[in-house]
Amino acid sequence: MALDDRKKLILRAIVENYIKNAEPVGSRSIAKSTGLNLSAATIRNEMGDLEELGYLTQPHTSAGRVPSSLGFRFYVDSLMDKYLMTAAEIQQLKKAMLNKVHELDQIVKDVSVAFSNLTLLPTFGMLPTIETGIVKSIKLVGIDERTVMIIVADSSGVIKNKLLRLRENISPEILIKLNDVLNANLTCLTASEINLSHIIEIQNAVGVNTEILTSVLELVHEAISEIDKHEVYMEGSTNILRFPEYNNIEKIKEILGFFDNKKSIDEMITKLPDVKSDKVSVFIGDENPVAELKNNSVVISSYKIGDNMTGIVGVVGPMRMDYSKVVSGVGFFARQLEDMLGKHFSEPDKPNKPPALGDGKTGSDNDS
């Protein structure tokens, strides 16, 4: 059943009243705030219809109504106004981006802190990862007779080093042969594309013992996988405690435990549907794929550096959040990161220099 204009106006007023006050909303409050020339009884009837349609719920008989996940979803998709960030808010985020411009991880951290302070919500940022993770080169360097350094570079220039200690000596001739054969068989592949046939071809071509080859291939695979690994930062997690939704000790322990576990945040990002780089996506309640977030909302956007590096920024909070402000802010956050980092890392004097990725160790779419 499509909602008529009156129901839309009432639903919008209920959602915005609930976001502001965190209390069930009654018909009298709506009669005062909507400007509709309707009696409280008529508004109660409309609220009853909205409840039957699944847009509202009633905590108990004598209480007013609160928006359901469906009500929040309809509000985000169809009712909320676009929030215009103030000059002060824009300046706050831009100032964070200007610090330590050569350290991408620090930029994402600083901007996440600034955005968390702005929204008073926990904010997360994922450093850009290589979408393809294609091997560009592999180099084996002998440190001594039984120690080899394995250096793997991907197609964007990101490098990972691995140190291998062998049980027996390896000759310089074998190292040279391994270098040639590994590059001939593994370059232009991703970690997931390296299969048994490649390993057999390498073994036949090199003829070294299984222990050496297995150890080398394990570390090559590990290095490639680390290039693809998500590096996620969470800032302002304790901001969640200011919301009355988390006044239960078990809820507090659950949500803070989630925020403290980087694997959980990485799992959330991995399981969410693909996020378009020019959109802000909102996942409400049961739309979230992680059990700990079923009573929360996630607002998220990606940002790109060049053609094949993509990062993620977003916030986590209660379903009762100021969606208009948060959606606009996340969109601005992502686009500013994208513009600033894209310009910086594509300067003429740095044509092939990738961002420094950390330690250097080698759903529904909404317009933002």
> What pLDDT is stored for residue 146 in this prediction?
85
Mean of pLDDT values over 300-328: 86
CA distance 111 to 107: 6
DSSP state of 290: S
Distance CA 256, CA 126 (A): 19
User: Which pLDDT does position 156 carry in this prediction?
Assistant: 58
Domains assigned to the chain? 5-79 (1.10.10.10), 87-130+232-367 (3.30.450.40), 135-228 (3.30.390.60)
Q: What is the pLDDT of residue 355?
A: 40
Percent share of the chain, pLDDT over 70? 78
Global confidence as pTM: 0.65
CB 194 within 8 A of CB 221: yes
* Mean predicted confidence (pLDDT) in 261-273: 79
Q: Which of 275, 280, 264 is nearest to 232 (CA)?
A: 264
pLDDT at position 13 over 80: yes
Residue 177: pLDDT band by 50, 70, 90 thresholds? confident
List residues bridging with 141 in a β-sheet: 149
Owner of token pair 């590059």:
183
DSSP 162-178: EEEE-SS---HHHHHHH
Mean confidence (pLDDT) of the chain: 79
Residue 15's pLDDT band, with cuts at 50, 70 and 90, is: very high
More reliable by pLDDT, 322 or 217: 322
**Backbone conformation region of residue 359, classed left if phi is above 0, alpha if psi is from -120 to 50, else beta:** alpha
- What is the per-residue pLDDT for 136? 80
More confident residue, 120 or 191: 120
Q: Using the predicted structure, report yes or no on whether residue 118 has a pLDDT greater than 50.
A: yes
- pLDDT category at 52 given cuts 50, 70, 90 is very high
Query: At residue 282, does pLDDT exceed 90?
Result: yes
- Give the mean pLDDT of 50-70: 89
CB atoms < 10 A from the CB of 77, how many?
Answer: 12
Q: 125 - beta bridge partners?
A: 233, 313
Determine the average pLDDT of the residues in 80-107.
Answer: 69
Q: Is the pLDDT of residue 205 over 50?
A: yes
Task: Report the pLDDT averaged over residues 46-55.
Answer: 94
The confidence score (pLDDT) of residue 234 equals 86
Q: pLDDT exceeding 90 applies to what percent of the chain?
A: 20
Q: Is the pLDDT of residue 37 over 50?
A: yes
Q: Assess whether pLDDT exceeds 60 at residue 296.
A: yes
Identity at 153, one-letter amino acid code: A
Contact between 294 and 318 (Cβ < 8 Å): no
Q: Is the pLDDT of residue 228 over 50?
A: yes
The better pLDDT of the pair 108, 302 is held by: 302
What pLDDT is attached to residue 278? 67
Choose the weakest-confidence range: 17-26, 110-119, 125-134, 217-226.
125-134
Q: What gap in Å lies between CA 247 and CA 236, rounded to an integer? A: 17
Q: Is the pLDDT of residue 225 over 80?
A: no
Name the residue among 288, 287, 283, 342 with its Cα closest to residue 311.
342
Is residue 282 within 8 Å of 366, Cβ to Cβ?
yes
pLDDT: is 11 or 201 the higher one? 11
Q: What is the pLDDT of residues 125-155, one digit of tens each?
A: 887 765 556 778 888 888 888 888 888 877 6
CA–CA distance, 237 with 175 (Å, rounded to integer)? 49
pLDDT single digits (tens) 319-358: 999 999 999 989 888 887 777 776 655 544 444 444 443 3
Interval 238-254 mean pLDDT: 86
Out of 106-115, 188-197, 351-360, least confident range: 351-360
